[in-house]
Structure 1
């Protein structure tokens, strides 16, 4: 698997746990721009539509 595929697999495993709190450290690392936007949109929807608390660390100011 590429770095981006591995990162997406880790995110999927995290979300499959279906917890009320999601902690993500650099979830967009190794992803191309389209997948970065997709992941951030997914995280936003989880918070907005399902009421999950999401805490994530981002060092890319363009994504923060």
Structure 2
């Protein structure tokens, strides 16, 4: 599901440490930082390399607005 950065802290109690979590942002920087925080908290977290703009879109993968 989509969660804006400003609301990220409010969804932490809903996350399950047994689930794999993938964080995606526009460039990959914010996602990478978020993954670092989640991993220190014990989550199995990953980010999309290059984000949407430099990873997903150039690969020709679908986007929805």
TM-score, scaled relative to structure 1: 0.41
Higher relative contact order (CA 8 A, sep 6+): 1
Which structure: larger Rg?
2
TM-score, scaled relative to structure 2: 0.41
